[in-house]
Amino acid sequence: MKAAKQHSLEAEKTKTSLWVHIFFLVFGLICIIPFMIIISASISGELDLAVNGFSVLPRKVDFSAYAYLFRNPKSIVDSYLVTIFITIVGTFLGVLFMSMAAYCLSRSTFRYKSLLTFFIFFPTLFSGGMVPSYIINTQYLHLTDTVAAMILPSLINVFHIIMLRTFFRQLPDALYEAATIDGASEYHIFFRIVLPLSKPVIATVAFLSALAKWNEWYNAMLYIRSEHLVPLQYMLQRMMMDLQALLDSMQYVPSMVNIQDLPGENLRMAMLVVAIGPMLLVFPFFQKYFTKGMTVGAVKG
């Protein structure tokens, strides 16, 4: 009787687990469908999209959007290199400085913790505005037409400091006491003990910072003048604006070019593929830390 009851419970558990797996499988497919539609639209003709609309699979493969996008491959490569540089350097420096600030705020023995907390968090209540920021960055810091203009203004994120500080506070005080008794300095404790134990939140902050740097275009629009310093997102935006201006002008001015032969929605989808492709490849390396870092580093405190 007992064995039959246990067998029934195991069968019910297996059935429930099967339905859970089916649900998440279907949910995963639903999440993948938009990406498939984007890729399909990017390799479809503009006329085909205008007549038949979007579909999961392309009706007729057409790479005209990518041909238009890569008609000047050197500019694409230069923009990629600039974006990769500001993403790597900006993420590394941002995580380093934010984790240092968070470490200071998490230590109860830090004498100026209250003053530093006020200095970091009080500016989040208001914004100085674009004009003062522009004056400071151009007239005083001289960041105009430099790579630093796309790194320094957005180097620190207060929300990320909160996440890091909350996670650091959860580390037992015995670790700090034992390291101090052994003669370890604050730098040794921070780099050799705290950071290795904080991989989940560090990876989460690093991914969020990298995503923000990869999508950088606003500071480039304000401060960048040289073509070889234009990041990928801003270059794609300008390309789309130029094409839209061309399409608008061709509606009123006769031209030898058929307006239906020019890329439109398919070019937008191709730009999405070019812009988000590398980040989709990077995300799996952070995935195992991402959920834990978001929950543990942001719930308490």
Predicted local distance difference test score (pLDDT) of residue 297: 43
The pTM (predicted TM-score) of the whole model is: 0.77
Dihedral (C-alpha) 202, 203, 205, 207: value to the nearest 10 degrees? 160
Mean pLDDT score, 277-301: 59
Q: Which of helix, strand or coil describes residue 247?
A: helix
Across the chain, mean pLDDT equals 80
Given a contact cutoff of 8 angstroms between Cβ atoms, the answer to whether 189 and 104 are in contact is no
Q: How far apart are CA 105 and CA 19, in angstroms?
A: 46
pLDDT (tens digit per residue) in 208-234: 898 889 888 888 888 988 888 888 888
Domain boundaries, the chain: 72-299
pLDDT (tens digit per residue) in 228-244: 888 888 888 887 777 66
**Number of continuous H segments (helices) and E segments (strands) in the chain:** 14, 0
Question: Which structure tokens are listed for 12?
Answer: 């019910």
Given a contact cutoff of 8 angstroms between Cβ atoms, the answer to whether 231 and 79 are in contact is yes
Predicted local distance difference test score (pLDDT) of residue 288: 62
Nearest to 283 by CA among 291, 271, 272: 291
Sole residue written with tokens 């234009």:
230
pLDDT (tens digit per residue) in 142-184: 888 899 999 998 888 888 998 899 888 888 888 888 888 888 8
Question: What is the 3-state secondary structure of 13-80?
Answer: HHHHHHHHHHHHHHHHHHHHHHHHHHHHHHCCCHHHHHHHCCCCCCCCCCCHHHHHHCCCHHHHHHHH
Mean pLDDT score, 258-287: 71
**Is the pLDDT assigned to residue 1 strictly greater than 80?**
no
Mean pLDDT score, 287-300: 52
* The residue type at 238: R
Rounded to an integer, what is the distance from CA 98 to the centroid of its chain? 17
Calculate helix-pair angle for 199-214, 158-169, nearest 10 degrees.
170
Sole residue written with tokens 């401060």:
223
Question: Which structure tokens are listed for 227?
Answer: 């073509």
Predicted local distance difference test score (pLDDT) of residue 255: 53
Predicted local distance difference test score (pLDDT) of residue 299: 42
**Is the pLDDT assigned to residue 121 strictly greater than 90?**
no
Q: Which CATH class is domain 72-299?
A: mainly alpha
Predicted local distance difference test score (pLDDT) of residue 240: 75
Q: Cα(first)–Cα(last) distance of the chain, in Å? A: 51
Sole residue written with tokens 């009080």:
122
Q: Over pLDDT 90: what percentage of the chain?
A: 10
The stretches of 171-217 forming alpha helices (DSSP H) are 173-181, 186-189, 195-197, 199-214
Sole residue written with tokens 């037992």:
172
**Is the pLDDT assigned to residue 268 strictly greater than 50?**
yes
10 Å Cβ neighbour count for 252?
A: 6
Question: Which structure tokens are listed for 94?
Answer: 């941002």
**Is the pLDDT assigned to residue 8 strictly greater than 90?**
no
Predicted local distance difference test score (pLDDT) of residue 6: 60
